[in-house]
Copies of this chain bind each other. A is one copy, B any other.
């Protein structure tokens, strides 16, 4: 059992090579050679190259989503209710840490994820979305609770803005401090959410201070 199974060896090699070169450029012959298995093993265990990519995604996204939900639970468990910043941080920080953390492949994997999001392939898109759907709903609900009376349609749109800002930032190659980026993004999104509560209102609404650190809970 100390020896990794053929399936796992393929998944590991595929993840590294997909992340490094992209989906199409990374060939199955490269992958199977790096994994030390036969070419046909991919189709036996996964069915196709694309199904292999999907399996790679699932393995990683499970971990990311669990980390997000754990942090969200922390925020929601607070006595006086969750703050908007804490909910946003639970969504943003694990992704950024994942993409820039100790794992050197994390960043590349996140770039691969963003590419998959941008990709036109509908099967892949649907599979990833379904993987995300439950988590997104949890966060949308939590955010809606901190912004009572918000138009749900507008809120969904603003959440898309936030996801876009996060995704784009993850794909950036700059390697600035994760905590600093997460903090800036949380404050940007919180101000954006609070500052445009209703449509077509006056532009120069009161500026939110919102300067509290998202970390102050433990200090």
Instruction: Evaluate contact between A216 and B102: CB separation under 8 angstroms.
Output: yes
Q: Provide the residues of chain B in CB contact with A207, threshold 8 Å.
A: 194-195, 215, 217-218
Chain A 136-170 against B: per-residue CB contact (8 Å), 1 yes, 0 no?
A: 00000000000000000010011011111111110
Q: How many copies of this chain?
A: 2
Number of interface residues of A (CB under 8 A): 87
In whole angstroms, what is the CA distance A20 to B188 when docked? 34
Known contacts A67-B211, A93-B208; decide if A195 and B198 are in contact (CB<8 Å): no
Does A80 belong to the interface (CB within 8 Å)? Answer: no
Known contacts A196-B210, A215-B63; decide if A188 and B161 are in contact (CB<8 Å): yes
Instruction: Evaluate contact between B187 and A200: CB separation under 8 angstroms.
Output: yes
Distance in angstroms from A162 CB to nearest chain B CB is 7
Instruction: Evaluate contact between B171 and A190: CB separation under 8 angstroms.
Output: no
Interface centre among A177, A184, A188 (most CB of B within 10 A): A188
Beyond A162-B165, A167-B168, A191-B205, 13 additional contacts (C-beta under 8 Å) are A24-B25, A71-B211, A94-B215, A98-B215, A103-B216, A154-B184, A161-B185, A161-B188, A164-B165, A164-B168, A191-B208, A202-B213, A204-B219
Chain A interface residues (CB < 8 Å from chain B): 20-22, 24-25, 59-60, 62-64, 66-67, 70-71, 74, 83, 85, 90, 93-94, 97-98, 101-103, 108, 111, 114-115, 117-121, 154, 157-158, 160-169, 171-172, 177, 179-181, 183-185, 187-196, 198-208, 210-219
